[in-house]
A and B are shown apart, each in its own frame.
Chain A
Amino acid sequence: MFVTYGVRRSALAAVAAVGMMVLTSAPAVAQQPADPNPGALTLTGSIDFLNQYMFRGIRQNSSGIAAWPAMDLGISAYSGDGGLKSVGINIGTWNSLHTGDTGQDGPSGKLWYESDFYATLGLGFGGGTSFSTTYTAYTSPNNGFTTVKEIMFKFAMDDSSKLGKAAIKPYIAIAREFDTDVARGQADGGENAGTYLEIGFAPGYAGSKASIGFPIKIGLSAGDYYELDGEDNKFGYFSIAGIVTVPLGGTTSFGAWNIHGGVEYQKLGTTTEFFNGGESNQVIGSFGIGFSY
């Protein structure tokens, strides 16, 4: 699902960060190649800790902490100078571990609330435009929900080359649930398979010691995505966040590591407000560590 960085102090995250600082001073790292991985595969991973997990505005836990370990393998299958600039394949797993009511403290007694598998085919075109198709299976190892299968199409534009620091990197994504039944295989647990529409922007500024991003997005139902009492409510949520990312040194033979944190504010619609216990506003803080290799 969609990672939203935020600020939250976490002993485990701090330990992980300190551990990696130790690693980066180990003898093996002293031999630093300029690029440790010039090949066509890229591995990225992260773990984030949050006070609240909202999936497209739909609350997933009411208590405890959520931890999101994630791993992605990117495959650069093609790059060229024609109309099609690049073809990439990404496969990965994204997980949500909950200490609270939908995890360890819940009826199952199991931490592992969600495990998603996804595969993306991404096409890069001229002018910074890209189009991607993603299949995702959202599963719940602790049976917190029934498996949701979805196909998503995303069109994005990186306007950095035209606008420089004023770039807003707009995108639009549309996702369709399939293989559903009443109250099964749907994010809203509703009657019909839903279609989700997201419009977003990701402006940001990169400095020498840190970067900051301000992702803004709005989630809408393009059909049965936010069902409540038989009625589909179009507006799902609006989100704005501030994310600070601090590199942990440069690129080493272990890749490039960072710590990041931020705060996200969500304004919820009728259905998502109901799922959030009648509260129409939600603030999410998160903190995490990530790497790219």
Chain B
Amino acid sequence: MPLRRQIRYVIALVVVAAVWAGVEVSPASAQAAPSDPNPGNLTITGGLDVANAYLFRGIPQDDTGVVMWPFGDLGIALHSGDGAIKSLAVNVGLWNSLHTGAAGSDGPSGKLWYESDFYATLGFGFGGGTSVGVTYTAYTSPNGSFNTVREVSFKVAFDDSRPLGRLASKPYVIVARELEGQADGGAAEGTYLELGAAPGFPVGGLMVTVPLRAGLSLGDYYEGVAGDERFGFFSAAGILTVPLSSGPTRVGSWNIHGGVEYVRLGDRNADILGDTSKVIGSIGIGLSY
């Protein structure tokens, strides 16, 4: 991918952001914006991120062109209360990966749309900031680069913002089990474990987050020539989020964000990438409504 084309994508993204900034000051928005434009039980989130490489849980997918991740999520708040279960919600959404490089339009298929994931999550919120989510995901490849992977995952997260304030680390654990198809293209369906934390702090009107993740195989998730490798990857990132307004507008809360992620790979994934580490840069625009 020539640099000029990459620059065009970034410019296009900035133009989109500028258009949205324009929308916010348009006459429609100028009419006394409600404090909450969407007090109902449905929440829409979405965005578009652009990156220089895509590693799925440390497994290299493509680093030869520009990678774009458009996504959308519909959250449905089914219950909120003061009992043991504080909240109950369902989320359904789509996450996509479009590639201009070898896994996409410049590859054998000639098609940009490398990955399309559908997911549905049932999430429970408990007291003390603890939450549990069960997610079904179907990872599909519209351009036929990989066979569909179906997975169920369980996530336990703890939001420690209340006791720790700015020092909160928001730790979580994810266990995912492949039901059909395999991310590693190995001999058997795998089980994945992720340990992570997402500390963050505001700086002026901006938000800085420093997500940390470690991906491990609990069985057959990172299969290679030497068998299943336990360590898949470790990742540390810094992400800066800039709101495009001081509060919610009639078109929701928009932001632009960007960051850098450093990924250290296990031997199996490093062999595929041809390097033991990768630095991924990304920039994007996001919406919450």
Contact = CB atoms under 8 A, between A and B. Distances in A.
Contacts of A38: 34, 37-39
B273 interface: no
Interface string B17-41: 0000001001111000010011111
B289 A41 contact: yes
Given A79-B27, A253-B41, A43 B74 contact: yes
B81 A27 contact: yes
A255 B40 contact: yes
Contacts of B26: 77-78
Interface string B107-134: 0000101001000000000000000000
Interface in A66-98: 71, 73, 75-80, 93
Contacts of B41: 28-29, 36, 253-254
Contacts of B38: 36-39, 41
Contacts of A180: none
Contacts of B76: 254
B79 interface: yes
Given A78-B27, A141-B142, A93 B94 contact: yes
Main SS of chain B's interface residues? mixed
B28 A37 contact: no
Contact of B80 (A28, A41, A78, A141): A28
Contacts of A147: 111
B250 A27 contact: no
Main SS of chain A's interface residues? mixed
Nearest to B70: A117
Contacts of A33: 39-40
Nearest to B41: A253
Contacts of B94: 93
Contacts of A23: 78
B251 interface: yes
B28 A76 contact: yes
B77 interface: yes
A293 to B, nearest CB: 5
A49 interface: no
A39 B245 CA distance: 15
Contacts, number: 96
B238 interface: no
A28 B116 contact: no
Contacts of A39: 34, 37-38, 250-252, 289
A254 B42 contact: yes
A221 interface: no
Contacts of B80: 28
B23 A36 contact: no
B144 interface: yes
Given A43-B44, A93-B94, A141-B140, A28 B78 contact: yes
Residue of A41, A93, A110 ringed by the most chain B CB atoms within 10 A: A41
Interface in A11-46: 23, 26-29, 33, 36-41, 43, 45
A154 to B, nearest CB: 22
B250 A40 contact: yes
11 contacts: A37-B38, A37-B40, A37-B42, A39-B251, A41-B251, A41-B289, A71-B72, A73-B72, A76-B28, A76-B250, A147-B111
